[in-house]
Amino acid sequence: MAARSGPSGVDGATLDSGMATAEFAVLLPLAAAALVFGLALFGVQLKHLNLVRQVGFLARSVEAGVADARLKELAVASGFDLEIQKADGFECLTGRWQLNLIGVQIPQSSRACGLAPGT
């Protein structure tokens, strides 16, 4: 008995033999875009973590007696704006920067407080 040939003329081949290639061609760019998006989010989280770390460092510097003008200089050098609020023996620092994601501005901030010098 002769072996039966598929529609494409190749033994065992079926009509959907090119579907795997087509699905791969469609899904590969989507997978690459998801990977790029995930890496971008990871980078944003690292930058936010750096903001939290820097604001915490500046809050500890308040307790060491560093002047407000110097704190703002350090913040600008680190790439963020700094707002200083004084109340009840504390100096609270709020660091802010803007994330520009595909033309959309997303505000990021971190806040830390330290004892004002002399209290």
Query: Residue 20: in which H helix or E strand, if any?
Result: helix 19-63
The answer to which of 3-12, 26-35, 86-95, 102-111 has the lowest mean pLDDT is 3-12
Collect all residues with Cβ–Cβ distance below 8 Å to 98 and sequence separation of at least 6. Answer: 105, 106, 107, 108
pTM of the model: 0.69
- To the nearest whole number, what is the mean pLDDT of the chain? 83
pLDDT tens for each residue of 61-80: 988 888 989 999 999 998 89
pLDDT tens for each residue of 8-52: 555 555 566 667 777 778 888 899 999 988 888 888 889 889 999
